[in-house]
Structure 1
Amino acid sequence: MSTAFLLVCAMCLDASLGEPDWVWSRVRHPAVMIGNLIGLLDKRLNNGGHRRLKGVAVVILLVIGAMILGGALAMLGPLVELVICAILLAQKSLVTHVRDVAEGLNASLDQGRAKVAMIVSRDTRDMTEAQVARSAIESAAENLSDGVIAPAFWFLVAGLPGLLIYKAVNTADSMIGYRSEKYLEFGWAAARLDDVLNLIPARLTSVMIVVQSGQWAQWQGITSDARRHISPNAGWPEAAMARALNVALAGPRSYDGKLRDLAWVNGDAPREIGAPEVFRACNMLWTVWGLALGLVSVWAGLSFIL
């Protein structure tokens, strides 16, 4: 059974079931277990001197451990591979969380703020409706790349070991990859390796959004905005999504009470947006997922024929 065929099945399983509460209320999610391990290593090692070296050691440990675990689990058979791959994809849960923001905004601004606070790390208490909507769309674009396309890409390239390595590094980046005083050194290796692993998937996601939206004429603007973005990868899907929806994204936002004057993405487009644009972003998430599923299905068919 080819890896591509397993990925097709896993994508469909994830899109159908997502992350059912009745399962994860009884069993710890693999991402949670990875996070617990990283949290323990952070507590034990992120102190004293040589923090960058310690952070490098943590990343090496995570990569080797994920590679060994992935190889061992793959030996249990294709059904195990399929289930684990489906668990570590996040399409349905992503769409659900983003749609919750749109539905919250339709109910009230406070509900929109409460829902978006569940998916972003910036300050949400004083957000305007437009800021809530932009935050949701930015999260949708970025997580489409690193929560769906990137895991699928690395599973296709390197099987279950590749997928687990990616998830371990991506989780580490989300926990310790900050440019704060505490994590600047200790999280350096996790952040840099995550940048490398997302290099191709982020640009691939951007291309797929453009294909589905037909905004090829905007490619120069997409590349320009992406290169000015604070992240070397997140700017690509964000810039493509902004043009697909004809909205402005990014711009100034607050973290821990401090305003950061970040560059606008597609800044000439409308900035005063709301729930309708967030719903359209959800539709684009499914459209791109469908394209990805089609491409992998073709790959699976070719693998079977050849």
Structure 2
Amino acid sequence: MGKLLCIVGPTAIGKTALALHLAAKEPSTLISADSRQVYRGMDIVTGKDHPTNTQLFGIDLVAPDESCSVSVWYNAVMPIITQSWEEGRLPIVVGGTGFYVHALTHGIHTLSVPINQELRSQLTTLSLPKLQAKLCAIAPARFFAMNHSDQSNPRRLIRAIEVALSSSLSPTVNLSLPQTQLIGLRYSSLTLQKEAIRARVLSRLQTGAVRETKKLLQKYPANLPSLTAIGYRSLIAHLTGKLSQAELIDHWVAGELAYAKRQLTWFRRDKSIQWYDIDKEDYDYPKN
């Protein structure tokens, strides 16, 4: 196994910018670890704003109406990582979906559980309380091991039920990556983080987020799991008259802030991450 560099942290922190900076210094391969960027046609809202002359792997893997999971992403990027090692290039994994990064650095035993589309179709008709009750009935330990956010997330509950009912569970997949380096970016000031997130939301609105959402809704139903992603929820509510323009912005920003908090909660559990506060004067990682 070769070296692997992972740049992690909350949304709107500058992970991709740092990855591009480092990639210019040595032969590298950039890989997105963002569960929102796996869907084709969902570009502006999810932040696929890397330079057009830069190839980013791990994105555009499925259509918005297709199921995706960490195993789909993992199976797509691992051959790229392996090829990079063989060719002497450094794989740089950049993103805020901790579960995806964890699959590479620690291994996840549920990777062997395939998507059961028939079961998912049945479960998507159930309300949140019924999904919670179903998981509690078949796998109470799994339900109570989930954090509050996941317990209230239908997509997470459906996957947990899918895993609990599967007979395909295998021993933990564990990549031996002793040379893995994890770099974490964060703000020390919540005010600055909020300003950065708000600026990003406004930028995405200016570059066509509403137009992109309208185009998606012409082809796909609004209740697709992919379209419940942060940003799209606010935009769809705006387009259906539930939110004004100002309310749309505030709702989207609030969703991103809550997501950033969850991201940091996840990543703080990994003690191997070397953290940098990007708003402090002594932040100098890009100079290294």
- Structure 2 length normalisation: TM-score? 0.31
Ranked by relative contact order (alpha carbons within 8 Å, sequence separation 6 or more), the top structure is 2
Q: Which has the higher strand share?
A: 2
Q: Which has the higher helix share?
A: 1
- Structure 1 length normalisation: TM-score? 0.29
